[in-house]
Structure 1
Amino acid sequence: MDERTGNARERTRGVLDVLTVLLLSVTAVVTAWCGFEASKWGGEMSIAFSQASSARVQAASAEARAQAARQYDLTIYTEWVLAERDGDDELVDFIEERFTDEFAVAFQAWDAEGRIADGPFAMAEYVPPGEKEAAELRDGADEKFDEALRNNQRGDDYSLLTVLFALVLFFAALSQHQGARWRRLVFLVLSVVLALVGVILLATFPIKI
């Protein structure tokens, strides 16, 4: 009877040893994978932040171009107003020939409506060069910034999983040094539960190769 009990304990110990080694091996691989993914998403975050910054610089440049065009049109329009007030039709025609294409469209729309609006600049048709481009670049910069924040969160999620799997390794290794079988089982079961939780969470995370 004692010999049978001893053999049963040896078999149980052998099974636990195999399970522990298997758990340690799989967890080590998964931990390395989490570290790899955290690094990849960190890189994606840096790229997205860089793209957002570049887009904002380009948007500022386009906005400056639009401001310069608007200032030119305003100067020309001021001269037109003065010539119109003085009744100098020849000068009025001369100035109108020098309207930019963008301002000419708005001016014609304003004139066609009976000049009711507060000048051509108030017309929806007036879009100086660079204004649309600036708006698109700003929107693109905002999208890239949001993407960078999402990538940062994904990297943080993988880093937290690395900590979780490190706990699995800790408890699994600790179970190997327990003299009492029940204590070993407690630490091993705890390791398995944590590993399952980690794997379930891992399955919900996006992958970046």
Structure 2
Amino acid sequence: MPEATATETERSVFWREMLIAVVMGLATLATGWSSYQSSLWGGIQTFRLADMGGIGREAAVKEVELGQQRVLELFMLERFLDAHEDGDERRAGFLFGRLPPELQAATRTWLDSHPKDNPEAARSPFQVKGYVQPGAAALAESRRKQDAAYAAADDANRISDSYVRITVFFGLVLFLAGISAVLKGRWPRRGLVAASVVILVVALFFLAQMPLAAG
């Protein structure tokens, strides 16, 4: 009987040590993988922020140019309306021809609505329905791309942080499994091994759900 008991004890120790080794090995591999992915997503965030900065600078330049263009258009339109009111068709035609085609069409529509006598008419050609300043669509697209780049950077940062949190759980698994290997008490040892296995399984489950970044 003592020999049988000793044999069972040796088997129990062997399988416990094997389980601890497997748990620690998986946790170590998963820690490396999680850290690698976190680093990749951090790099993606950096590139997305750089893209956002470049797009933002281009959008700022376009916005300034549009502002300057609007001032010039307003100046030309005022002079055209003055000449039109004075009946100076030659000067009015010259100034009208210098307006962008989009503003010319809006001005015709506005004048046809008889703004002096029609309270429902637009307050100016710039407010005529359907008028869009040339370049405004390109500026809006640049702003959209800037917002998209920021959203992508924020998403990459969130994913990177999630990988870091998962890495912490794998570190906890290594800690618990390592402590269980040196404990003498049977139940505290089994409890730590069981806890490390449960945490490892949960952490691996969440790791499997995470998006992957290409290296």
SS at match of 1:83: helix
Query: Once structures 1 and 2 are overlaid, which stretch shifts more, 18-27 or 158-167?
Result: 18-27
Q: How many residues align?
A: 209
Q: Which residue of 1 aligns with 2:50?
A: 50
TM-score normalised by length of structure 1: 0.93
Look up the match of 1:96. 96
- The reply to whether residue 182 of structure 1 matches residue 200 of structure 2 is no
Which range is displaced more, 155-164 or 173-182? 173-182
> Matched residues in 1 for 2:49 and 2:5: separation?
64
| Whole-angstrom CA distance in 1 between matches of 2:78 and 2:60 | 27
The residue type paired with residue 71 of structure 2 is: Q
Q: Does 1:169 align with 2:170?
A: no
Using structure 2 for the length normalisation, give the TM-score: 0.91
Distance 1:178 1:98 in 2: 89
State the one-letter code of the partner of 1:167: L
Q: How does 1:144-155 map to 2 (within 5 A)?
A: 144-155=149-160
2:21 alignment partner, SS class? helix
Of 99-108 and 167-176, the range deviating more from structure 2? 99-108
1:22-171 paired onto structure 2 within 5 Å: 22-115=22-115, 116-171=121-176
Deviation at 1:182, TM superposition (A): 2.3
Cα drift, residue 117 of structure 1: 2.0
- The 3 A distance-change label for structure 1 pair 125 and 108 is farther
Q: Tell me if the contact between 1:69 and 1:128 (Cα under 8 Å) persists in the aligned partners.
A: no
Q: CA RMSD in A?
A: 1.5
8 Å Cα contact 1:105-1:125 kept in structure 2: no
Which runs of no fewer than 5 residues in structure 2 stay unpaired?
Answer: 116-120
Separation in 2, partners of 1:30, 1:157: 14
> Which residue identity lines up with residue 22 of structure 1 in the other structure?
V
Q: Which runs of 4+ in 1 moved over 6 A?
A: none
